[in-house]
């Protein structure tokens, strides 16, 4: 079934394109506000803290900890039937940024809140790269 329904893919915008370009090059960049020094993710045109438009992308090493997670034991949508069980997590970078990702290379019963994880760059056939995480 997953062969007949394509997986949804990101659609970069002019604002998010630097993020996707960096992932393709196996780098992680996160926006930082020059006005208030706040880290911002997902990419956007205004700071979520002070509403400044002075956001710049800065490189981060990507090391993170699991903030929370859930295990989807049924496919979340038909294209993901081959990824069950799917570990969906919110990870927190050292910079304090939290975002949703998938954990790979680990059994669901081995995942713990606070677990250290490292980035995995998942290069798709379409040229898009997704950021996933595995145990450090």
What is the spatial distance between Cα 35 and Cα 32, in angstroms, rounded to a whole number?
Answer: 9
Over residues 43-87, the pLDDT tens digits come to 999 999 999 999 999 999 999 999 999 999 999 889 989 989 999
pLDDT-based confidence at 128, cuts 50/70/90? Answer: very high
- Range of weakest confidence among 74-78, 92-96, 128-132: 74-78
Same-domain check for residues 99 and 119: yes
pLDDT of residue 76: 86
Same-domain check for residues 56 and 74: no
Q: What is the CATH number of the domain that holds 68?
A: 2.40.50
What is the spatial distance between Cα 112 and Cα 110, in angstroms, rounded to a whole number?
Answer: 6
Same-domain check for residues 133 and 93: yes
Same-domain check for residues 69 and 132: yes
pLDDT of residue 2: 45
Number of structural domains found in the chain: 2
Alpha-carbon dihedral of residues 34, 39, 43, 48, nearest 10 degrees? -80
Same-domain check for residues 73 and 56: no
Same-domain check for residues 54 and 66: no
What is the spatial distance between Cα 118 and Cα 77, in angstroms, rounded to a whole number?
Answer: 26
**Inside any domain, residue 1:** no
Q: Which domain holds residue 25?
A: 12-60
């Amino acid at each position: 079934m997953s062969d007949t329904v394509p997986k949804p893919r990101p659609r970069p915008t002019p604002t998010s394109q630097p993020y996707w370009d960096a992932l393709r090059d196996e780098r992680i960049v996160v926006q930082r506000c020059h006005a208030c020094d706040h880290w911002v993710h997902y990419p956007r045109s205004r700071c979520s803290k002070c509403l400044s438009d002075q956001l710049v992308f800065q490189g981060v090493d990507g090391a993170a900890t699991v903030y929370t997670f859930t295990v989807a034991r049924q496919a979340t949508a038909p294209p993901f039937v081959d990824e069950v069980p799917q570990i969906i997590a919110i990870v927190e970078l050292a910079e304090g940024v939290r975002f949703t990702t998938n954990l790979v290379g680990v059994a669901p019963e081995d995942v713990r809140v606070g677990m250290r994880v490292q980035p995995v760059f998942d290069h798709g056939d379409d040229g898009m790269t997704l950021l996933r995480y595995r145990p450090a």
